[in-house]
Amino acid sequence: MDRKFESDIDRRSYLKLVGAGGAVGMMGTAGCLGGGDGGDGETTTTEGGETGTEGGETTDMEVTEIVPGTAPGFAPFEFKEGDELVGFDIDLTTAVVENMEGYELGEWKEFEFSSLIPALTSENIDLIAAAMTINDERKQTISFSDPYYEADQSVLVRTDGEFSPGSLDDLNGHPVGAQKGTTGESIVQEQVPDATYRAYDNYVLAVRDLENGNVDAVVLDKPVAENFASQSAVEVAFVEETGEKYGLGMRQDSEFIDALNEGLAAVKEDGTYEEIVNKWFGQE
Ligand code: ARG
C-alpha cells in the first residue's frame, strides 16, 4: 500500500469522527445516504416500488435520492455563478439521473477535490461528479461509471512572462502549482522531481498565484486550462498528452452503478449529451 492510499484512510476515519469535514455547504438530506438520524441508516426502496391507487391516477413510486458532490472552481465542468452551482458535470449528472427510473437527484454538496472520495466512502454523498479521472489508484477505493469525457493535461504560464516551457523537464527548478489530490499534482510530484511543488485547495487559487508570480506554472486538465486562459493573464505553454477519461464516482457497493451507466448511455444516445457539450464547449 502506498502512502497516499494510507493517508486517504486516515482522512476518512477522521471525517467519520468529525461528522463530515471538508464540506463547504452541509445539508441534512437523508435520501440514499446511510447513517441518518436514527433508524438503521439505510434507505430501502420497496420492492415493486408501487404504492398508488388502483386506477393509476396518483401512482406513488418509492424513489431513492442520490446525493451528488462536486468540487467547484473547475470551469466549465463545475463552478459558481454567484451562488449557483453550474457547469457541464452538473447538467450531465442531472440528465443522467433523470433517465434512471426509481432515483432522483438530491441537493449538491461542495467539497475540496481531495475530500470527495472520503465524503463518498463515509456516505456523506452518493455520487462524485467532478471531472474525476478514472485511474487504478482511485479504483482501489471507489467505482467509476463508464467514461463520459476525455482530456489531456496542460501547463499554464503567465502570458506576459519570460518563462515558456516546452516540456515537463523545463519545469524543474521552478515553483509549480496544482490542486491537491489531482492527476495534475501526481504529474508534478512524479515527473518533475526538481520543481518546488505548491499544493492548492483549488485551481482558482493556483492560477491567481501564477498571475501574481508566486508560481511559474500550473499543471491542470486542458479544457479547464483553456478556460482560465480565456479569462486571465495566463496561457497554455504546452499540452501533456495523458488521454485521461472522466467518470462519475460511486461507492464500490453502490446499488445503482448499472442503472447509472444505462442512464448515461441513454443521454448519449438521445442527443442530450451532445447538447450539453455544445452548451459548455461551444460548437466545434
Ligand atoms: N481530472 C483531474 C483528476 O481527476 C482533475 C479534477 C479536478 N476536479 C475538480 N472538480 N476540481 O485528478
Mean pLDDT value across residues 188-198: 98
Residue 178 Cβ inside 6 Å of ligand 1? The answer reads no
Residue 225 Cβ inside 6 Å of ligand 1? The answer reads no
Q: So what's the pLDDT on residue 217?
A: 98
Convert the pLDDT of each residue in 205-258 to its tens digit.
999 999 999 999 999 999 999 999 999 999 999 999 999 999 999 999 999 999
Rounded-to-integer distance, Cα 111 and Cα 179, Å:
13
Cell numbers describing residue 61: 413510486
Residue 114 Cβ inside 6 Å of ligand 1? The answer reads no
Residue 256 CB partners (closer than 8 Å, separation 6+)? 64, 66, 100, 103, 250
What CATH code is assigned to 8-32+64-149+245-281?
3.40.190.10
What CATH code is assigned to 151-243?
3.40.190.10
Q: So what's the pLDDT on residue 224?
A: 98
Mean pLDDT value across residues 168-180: 98
**DSSP-derived secondary structure for 55-114:** TSTT--B--EEE-EEE--SBTTTBEEETTEEESHHHHHHHHHHHTSTTEEE---EEB-GG
CATH 3.40.190.10, the chain: domain bounds: 8-32+64-149+245-281, 151-243
For residue 60, name the pLDDT band (cuts at 50, 70, 90): low
Distant-in-sequence contacts of 42-46, Cβ < 8 A, 24+ apart: 45/102
Residue 183 Cβ inside 6 Å of ligand 1? The answer reads yes
- Residue 40 CA to ligand 1 center (angstroms) comes to 34
Asked whether residue 15 carries a pLDDT value surpassing 80, the answer given is no
pTM: 0.81
Q: For 281, which DSSP code? A: H
User: If you count DSSP H runs as helices and E runs as strands, how many of each does the chain have, helices first?
Assistant: 9, 14
Cell numbers describing residue 275: 447538447
